[in-house]
Amino acid sequence: MPRLCFTFVAALCATAISALADEPVTAWAAEAIAVDAAEELHVAVGTATLRCNPDWCTGGTNVSGAVAVLKVVSDPGSAQATTSAVPLSVSTGEFNVPYSGTGYLRFILSAEKEGAAIGSLVLGDVSFGIKSAFTASAAYDGRTNALQEIANAWGATTLRYDFLWGENATSATVSRICVRHAKNGDLIDVTTNQLNSVDSPPMLGEVPHSMQNLPWGEYRLLLREFTADGSLAFEQLSPEYSLPHVFGTYMIIR
Amino acid sequence: MKRLLAIAFSSMALAGFADAFTVTDVSARQRWPWNGLVDVDFTIAGASVADLFKVEVEAAYDGGTKKLYARTYLEEPLRGPGFNRITWDLAADYPELKVDDLQVAVTVTPLSRASLDAQNVYMVIDLSSGPNSTRYPVRYTTTAPTLVPTNDLVACAADPNRTTKLWLKRVKANTFPFGGTNSNSGEGDFKVSLSPYYIGVFELTQKQWALVMDTWPSVFSNDIYRAARPVSNINNDEIIGHNNWPENRVMADGSYVAKMRARTGLATFSLPTEAQWECASRAGSAVTTQISKSTGRCADYVSTSGVNTYNEGPEVGTALVGSYNANAWGLYDMFGNVMEMCLDAHDTVDNLKTLYGWNAETREPIQDPIGPGVNATARYHATRGGSYGNSAGFCASHRRDYNSRSETGTKRASIGFRVAVSPEWN
């Protein structure tokens, strides 16, 4: 009987030890991933039709056989971010991709040759139907040379831009697009007012930009750059911004 | 022989590590190519809510010949059972790394329950993705929430730790006297032992309700402050979706608890039972704890300048959560603000003793009671803690009350709840 009891106790202990499982457990992912920790910041996006060209990727310019690959990141900046390829996203030359997204999206343009990445990434942020946030101060992002809008909502100021991105561009236009009236919130036909046009470099330009007589609404700014023969070299659309009934509010759109 | 058996059993109990567990479904993905954050997803199966794990990430490339070890994470690398994500700041640890064949692994080490009991452990549920979200991330930390003080009411009302983040605190296994009176210090009506569980640091706020349900049902709806005021004016149908606990432990689709369970993966997310509420309220004290005095109203004892102390005027009613003192375990507003609804129904002490099989001679504690359901004698849901409108006598840990309108589903402006995550019910 004592032996039986000892066996029972030993069995209990053995059961306990195997069930406690206090040892670390290591598990590996089934699939390897590609990572790139180096930061690359550029901006180049189109309007509702995305325009892409492998030449826009620095280092990918004039590489015979280079193709452009366009991907879109949904909900960037959050843990729910997902990256997916845009349909018809590979081309050996400049191409247009119809795209009507929702929310805040980030686009990644890369150039590849024979499956290997070449050059640097081109990234662009676009918001569809999201108002940009207001801020107490205005700023200019010189790193990205992105289209910047620095506007006193009720005073004249300037819009600064740089058409670094347009290869061989010799002229540019800046337009303001009224996306919708704020009066009733309904979409209306898009109206575009050209603010200014600039001929020939220097690349950095400034456009007087008064918003004093505009109605409430949501607006976007569009920069287009053209080559000498008049063909479009580059275009960039800002996120939406609101024109509110608040005196002295400054805003920035990145 | 009995002694030997006792030693064997006590050794098992003292060891106190997690149950056998597995780690599965590991996958990794760089969040954005330009900032170097890598999300590593994995699932811990076979563990209990009472368990917690330290997580480490490593990686290899060049066919496994070169190794990397993560040192920088976005959040404290503690995780619990179920689906998990840990985010490795690859760019911080290896800023120039660019490889095409990175194999990523997680190593999960269970923390002993003794070590967990010796420190403050919090569960944080991120609700910021809102009512259309399919997943609310859950993380764990040993650092208490940093709170905006209630003397800045507007900033306090926007405090993310009171609005978009739902904080729960781990309560270690505990034995305490249940119920009783002010005078029978240390005795209670009977003794209860509870397994470890988590309970809300605050009463659930209106914003935390709205981020899940997309409604603002509370009577106290001043939109400057409402986000951080406790939700109230809700009934059992909206919270768990039926009136048949504990026979039916599946909460009805569309209810607050059902949505939270689906979006967090926490299968036992719910309200605290009456016993869990009282244990948290006593905070380790055998003697009943209560608001400082036994006269006046609960709301007379708001410790800070909460917006809605019980004064005359348009702002009568609830205060921003955290306006009443925290107890010894760091749980706020256990007394006052809103009366807190519990998961189980209220019944008489004698009926509870019969239900639980209380032995008055041995006085063995009742283990993890889940309460009676609504029945002929227990018609209403238990409530605890007193509200802004009650007399101070309601604001005591032993004091048992009930919502006399719960049977009809009628709502009260003074009744809300806090949340809990329980061990698996048997």
Write the pLDDT tens digit of every residue in B292-301: 555 566 655 5
Asked whether the beta carbons of B332 and B321 are under 8 A apart, the reply is yes
Structure confidence at residue B207 (pLDDT): 96
Residue B271 backbone dihedrals phi, psi, to 5 degrees? -90, 160
DSSP H or E run through A17: helix A2-20
Interchain pair A33, B40: CB under 8 A: no
Structure confidence at residue A30 (pLDDT): 93
Interchain pair B28, A33: CB under 8 A: yes
For A141-198, write each residue's pLDDT tens digit: 333 333 333 333 323 344 445 444 455 667 767 666 665 544 444 444 445 555 555 5
Q: Which of A6, A22, A35, A144 to mutate to test the interface with B (most CBs of B within 10 A)?
A: A35
Which residue did the predictor score with more confidence, B56 or A78?
B56
Interchain pair A27, B23: CB under 8 A: yes
B112 has a chain A CB within 8 A of its CB: yes
Helix (H, G, I), strand (E, B) or coil at A104: strand
Question: What is the mean pLDDT of the segment spanning B317-341?
Answer: 89
The alpha carbon of residue A199 is apart from the nearest alpha carbon of chain B, in Å, by 34
Residues of A in contact with B31 (CB under 8 A): 79, 81
Let me know if B202 is exposed, middle or buried by CB neighbors in 10 A (0-12, 13-18, 19+). buried
The residue of chain A nearest to residue B57, with distances taken between CA atoms, is A26
Q: How far apart are CA B340 and CA B44, in angstroms?
A: 33
Structure confidence at residue B325 (pLDDT): 78
**For residue A227, what are the β-bridge partners?**
A169
Q: How confident is the model at residue B1 (pLDDT cuts 50, 70, 90)?
A: very low
Asked whether the beta carbons of B295 and B286 are under 8 A apart, the reply is no
DSSP string, B267-303: TTEEPPPHHHHHHHHHTT-SS--B-S-SSSBGGGG-S
**For residue A134, what are the β-bridge partners?**
A251
Which residue did the predictor score with more confidence, A53 or B20?
B20
For B220-266, write each residue's pLDDT tens digit: 888 888 999 999 999 888 999 888 888 888 898 999 999 999 999 89
The alpha carbon of residue A34 is apart from the nearest alpha carbon of chain B, in Å, by 4
DSSP H or E run through A165: none
The alpha carbon of residue A40 is apart from the nearest alpha carbon of chain B, in Å, by 6
Q: How confident is the model at residue B172 (pLDDT cuts 50, 70, 90)?
A: very high
Interchain pair B103, A2: CB under 8 A: no
Structure confidence at residue A202 (pLDDT): 41
A42 has a chain B CB within 8 A of its CB: no
Q: How far apart are CA B62 and CA A202, in angstroms?
A: 47
Q: Among A31-35, A239-243, B46-50, where is mean pLDDT lowest?
A: A239-243
A116 has a chain B CB within 8 A of its CB: no
For tokens 């603000």, what's the residue?
Answer: B337
- Is the per-residue pLDDT at B421 higher than 90? yes
Q: How far apart are CA B421 and CA B170, in angstroms?
A: 9
The residue of chain A nearest to residue B15, with distances taken between CA atoms, is A20
Which residue did the predictor score with more confidence, B89 or B426?
B89
Q: Identify which of A26, A38, A41 has the shortest CB distance to residue B107.
A: A26
Asked whether the beta carbons of B73 and B54 are under 8 A apart, the reply is no
Whether ipTM exceeds 0.85: no
Interchain pair B19, A21: CB under 8 A: yes
As a whole number, the mean pLDDT across chain B is 85
Pair type for strands B366-367 and B190-194: parallel
How would you list the strands of the sheet with B339-345, edge to edge? B401-403, B381-384, B339-345, B415-416
Nearest to A253 by CA among A53, A244, A242: A242
Identity at A120, one-letter amino acid code: S
- Is the per-residue pLDDT at B76 higher than 80? yes
Residues of B in contact with A21 (CB under 8 A): 17-21, 110
| Per-window interface: A 73-102 vs B, CB < 8 A | 73, 76, 78-81, 83
Structure confidence at residue A144 (pLDDT): 36
Asked whether the beta carbons of B309 and B389 are under 8 A apart, the reply is no
Q: Identify which of A22, A26, A33 has the shortest CB distance to residue B110.
A: A22
Q: Identify which of A5, A35, A73 has the shortest CB distance to residue B102.
A: A35
Structure confidence at residue B180 (pLDDT): 87
Asked whether the beta carbons of B38 and B19 are under 8 A apart, the reply is no
Query: What is the pTM assigned to this prediction?
Result: 0.65
The alpha carbon of residue A13 is apart from the nearest alpha carbon of chain B, in Å, by 7
- Is the per-residue pLDDT at B370 higher than 50? yes
Which residue did the predictor score with more confidence, A199 or B13?
A199
Structure confidence at residue A28 (pLDDT): 96
- Phi/psi class of residue B227: alpha, beta or left (left: φ > 0; alpha: ψ in -120 to 50)? alpha
B95 has a chain A CB within 8 A of its CB: yes
Structure confidence at residue A88 (pLDDT): 47
B129 has a chain A CB within 8 A of its CB: yes
Say what angle helices A2-20 and B2-15 make with each other, to 10 degrees. Answer: 0
- Is the per-residue pLDDT at B416 higher than 90? yes
Q: Identify which of A21, A32, A73 has the shortest CB distance to residue B101.
A: A32
Structure confidence at residue B312 (pLDDT): 44
- Is the per-residue pLDDT at A21 higher than 60? no
What DSSP character marks residue A130? -
Q: What is the 3-state secondary structure (H, E, C) of chain A?
A: CHHHHHHHHHHHHHHHHHHHCCCCEEEECCCCEEEECCCCCCCCCCCCEEEECHHHCCCCCCCCCCEEEEEEEECCCCCCCEEEEEEEEEECCCEEEECCCCEEEEEEEEEEECCEEEEEEEEEEEEECCECCEECCCCCCCCCCCCCEEEECCCCEEEEEECCCCCCEEEEEEEEEEEEECCCCCEEEEEEEEEEEEECCCCEEEEEECCCCCCCEEEEEEEEEEECCCCEEEEEECCEEEECCCCCCEEEEC
The residue of chain A nearest to residue B100, with distances taken between CA atoms, is A34
The alpha carbon of residue B133 is apart from the nearest alpha carbon of chain A, in Å, by 10
Q: Identify which of A21, A27, A83 has the shortest CB distance to residue B26.
A: A27
Question: What is the mean pLDDT of the segment spanning B362-374?
Answer: 92
Q: Among A201-205, B63-67, B196-200, B225-229, where is mean pLDDT lowest?
A: A201-205
As a whole number, the mean pLDDT across chain A is 54
Q: How confident is the model at residue A79 (pLDDT cuts 50, 70, 90)?
A: low
Number of residues that make up chain B:
426
Q: Among A27-41, A153-167, B30-44, B233-247, where is mean pLDDT lowest?
A: A153-167
